[in-house]
Amino acid sequence: MKKKKIIIFGGSFDPIHKGHIKIALRAFNRIKADKLFFVPCNNHPQNKKMSASNNDRLEMIRLAIKGFPRFEICDFELKRNEISYTIDTINYFKEYYSDYELYLLIGYDQLINFDKWNRYQEILENSRIICYKRFLNKQNEINNITNDELNTNDNSVQELSLQKEDNKKINIKHISIGTIFRINISSSNIRVSPKKRHLSLDVLNYINENGLYALDRLEKVMSTYRIEHSIRVAEIAVDITKSLKYYPLLKQAYVSAIYHDYAKEFSEKYQTNFWTLFKIGYLFKYKKMYNKEKIENKHQNLWKIIHAWLGAYLIKKKFFINDYQVLNAIRNHTILETDDNILAKIIFCSDKLDVRKDGEISDRKKMYELCKKDINKGYLEILNRLKRND
């Protein structure tokens, strides 16, 4: 009797994207497999730093393979909590699926370096290799790789450079499933500039609801000082929300707080231009002047507060964060206008409760405790103190 076939597809899946699904489907259909396992790795042998936690990566895979009954997840490598070597995984499958024929699905970049893998001969004795190539639409992409890019951990870039030396002999016996079109996308790009077409909607929503990859994104636009402030504000916001027992708001508190200063370090010119366009847009849409005129009159350093509106606008546009509560809280963190919104108050207060370079609000500890007991009172007290300093 013919042996059943299992495909093992390992990787960081940080996050899993549509390219992974496409590769998996192609391999699955090509060899007429019976099962395919996504095997997220724990610590990469090359020490690749992972952004999302093990649980989040697992959950994203679970969401992405919904609707593919023959696709499964194997958390063997995550559970071991030590460096993942493929040979250990192969041996695990050999033990638990002894009546199956094992196939290992890898990329072209991995195949070229396969003879450097730990105990690679043993892997070859116990499984067959399936290899895919990514489609590169421009030859220029290959030729224009800079040395800097080569030093990144971005697999797609490494692969581009490897395909440069396409003539290199590969002595590893393998089944090629050819080039997969339209998957010249990489997880590292998706983390900082996601495209809707690259991710399943469920995965995109999961990333945004949980604020995954926020730090990767903040690193692109702000200084370490500002990132540290954002992290502390997020910790304070989560702490206050927990103390108030507003558990359904916990994730939103984290997401709004971590992103609240997203646009803070954009140039003054960029921010004031945005403000002008924003007001014109508003005028066209609602046929009236935007009611922030009074803000303009009151605040001489107007551009220092615009980042709240700009930040909310940008995270919606760039990352598809659509949660009204989150956007509203970010928009209101400089000047709170919706005084009946709890989340907005929590973010406003958490931001003011952080200790900054230029000092802290008076009675900070007392204010913090008050916010944890009664956010409405805490907010009013903090507001009074800010007004006094004006």
Nearest distance from C-beta of residue 307 to Fe ion, angstroms: 6
**Residue 165 DSSP SS3:** coil
Question: Which residue's CB is nearer to Fe ion, number 133 or number 307?
Answer: 307
Nearer to Fe ion, 59 or 261 (CB): 261
Binding mask of the shown chain, residues 343 to 362, with x at each position contacting Fe ion by CB under 5 A:
--------x-----------
Closest contact distance (angstroms) between CB of 201 and Fe ion is 31
* CB of 260 vs Fe ion, minimal distance in Å: 6
Q: Residues 109, 155: contact at Cβ < 8 Å?
A: yes
Query: Would you say 128 and 103 are in contact if contact means Cβ atoms under 8 Å apart?
Result: yes
Nearest CB to Fe ion, comparing residues 59 and 351: 351
β-strand 128-134 against 175-180: which pairing, if any?
A: parallel
Name which of 261 and 381 has its Cβ closer to Fe ion: 261
Q: Give me the least distance between CB of 254 and Fe ion, in Å please.
A: 15
- Would you say 109 or 261 has its CB closer to Fe ion? 261
Contact in structure between 15 and 203 (CB atoms under 8 Å): yes
Nearer CB in complex with Fe ion: 206/303 = 303
CB of 368 to Fe ion, least distance (A): 16
Whole-angstrom distance, CA of residue 242 vs CA of residue 141: 49
| Minimal distance, residue 347 CB to Fe ion, in Å | 9
Binders of Fe ion: how many residues, by CB under 5 A?
2
Which positions ≥6 away from 172 have C-beta within 8 Å?
A: 111, 114, 115, 124, 129
* Residue 109 within binding range of Fe ion, rule CB under 5 A: no
Instruction: Give the x/- contact pattern for Fe ion in 244-273, rule: CB under 5 A.
Output: -----------------x------------
The pair of structure tokens assigned to 185 is 């996308």
What CA–CA distances, in Å, run from 343 to 240, 257, 321, 359?
Answer: 10, 10, 16, 25
Please answer whether residues 109 and 172 qualify as being in contact, where contact means their C-beta atoms are separated by less than 8 angstroms.
Answer: no
List contacts with Fe ion (CB under 5 A): 261, 351
